[in-house]
Chain A
């Protein structure tokens, strides 16, 4: 089996470096195929490299991590990294596999790696199917509202 691939999107160089080093320890066979310093760069890097996993900072210049996840979440496993947990609910709404608080500690990262590994065995979270479901649900709702 080939090595799993990942993208890291984080605007602060030191934090990016830190996550990369921690990941190298927690998951030596993981290959970081691309790094991005903002949301748009992350999207371009995803298109160029098609990694299986994306580690996304939530607060980034340009597109936020949540917006990037909305665009690529159907095609890869998303792990959010943020300094403060005010976005937790939105993150899981966006279909995240996990949600890491910065600065990332080794023990917590090991849990994340476990989760992602298990998910990798299954298919990526299919956001588009979920969206289609939601759309039908909303359509039903509006018909009922019209009837009222």
Chain B
């Protein structure tokens, strides 16, 4: 308003045949128009993207048309011939000059702001896209790293087992050969099976059996265990490596931290719809160690989700009187996903 008033005062001093009031109205209109066009361009810059040239051309043309129509209407109101400006070159010049100034100012503001905003928007979306690609890449990297972790045998396990075998062998104990035989079964079964797409429950039970036999030899009376897989279920396929991960967790978080030790029970059952549930229960240290957050479990959840979606799940609950139960529920077949997996103990698992 201040700037418009100053311009109006200057214009009134110039020999433009314009009163201060007329100039004030004119410059306030220009200011309003500039603000309006600026706001339109700022918020609606995407409307203008790619058609800035059109704005630059049509803006002044529309302003010119508007100016001429306005002049005709003004002539009619004042009782003069509406086409008066056609005969008066001075009036025509005024109308055309004013219209072109308005038009060009409008187009300039819109073009400037819209192009600036478009560039900003393009930069932002490029940045977001790059960021998304980055996170996708790092996710894939993390996944492949997880797969590597899966393939790794824990060094603690390996060195402690070899040390025990060495001790038994030096004493000439017949247990030494059995321990080494179990270690061979475990190593052979655990490495290539991870690379397979699926394994039978029987194969997984063999791996788990070898692992538990080794741990029994090492932990002695601190560990008892049972593997109960009904014969009809032995041929069922399961994602490889999941059951052994649950058993390793039971040992690592349940039995090993407990001085008294406990019992590990691996069992499988099938319901009427053909859903398979494989459970690993221990009576060890229990939830104190918060095993629910382990990398192994998160990995199992992610793999189940990728393979079966809602049809499979991992349930975790506390065991009675102590310890922990982890259960994998798989649909009858991956091609025919069953009803969403029930999670009766979601609250206690979380």
Residues of A in contact with B (beta carbons under 8 Å apart)? 11-15, 17-18, 21, 37-38, 40-41, 59, 61-62, 83-84, 101-104
Contact = CB atoms under 8 A, between A and B. Distances in A.
Contacts, number: 59
A12 B164 contact: yes
Contacts of A40: 259
Contacts of A62: 257, 259
Nearest to A40: B259
7 contacts: A14-B163, A14-B167, A14-B168, A14-B218, A18-B164, A83-B158, A83-B159
Interface in B144-199: 155-156, 158-160, 162-164, 166-168, 170
A41 B220 contact: no
Given A103-B162, A104-B163, 20 more contacts: A11-B256, A11-B259, A12-B160, A14-B168, A14-B217, A15-B160, A15-B164, A18-B163, A18-B166, A21-B167, A38-B259, A41-B259, A59-B156, A59-B256, A61-B258, A61-B259, A83-B158, A101-B159, A102-B163, A103-B163
A141 to B, nearest CB: 33
Which one of B156, B158, B170, B220 has the highest number of Cβ atoms from chain A below 10 Å of its Cβ?
Answer: B156
Provide the main secondary structure of the chain B interface: helix
A83 B158 CA distance: 8
Contacts of A37: 259
Interface string B237-256: 00000000000000000001
Nearest to B160: A83
Contacts of B258: 61
A105 to B, nearest CB: 9
B298 to A, nearest CB: 21
B18 interface: no
A113 B222 CA distance: 31
Contacts of B159: 83-84, 101-103
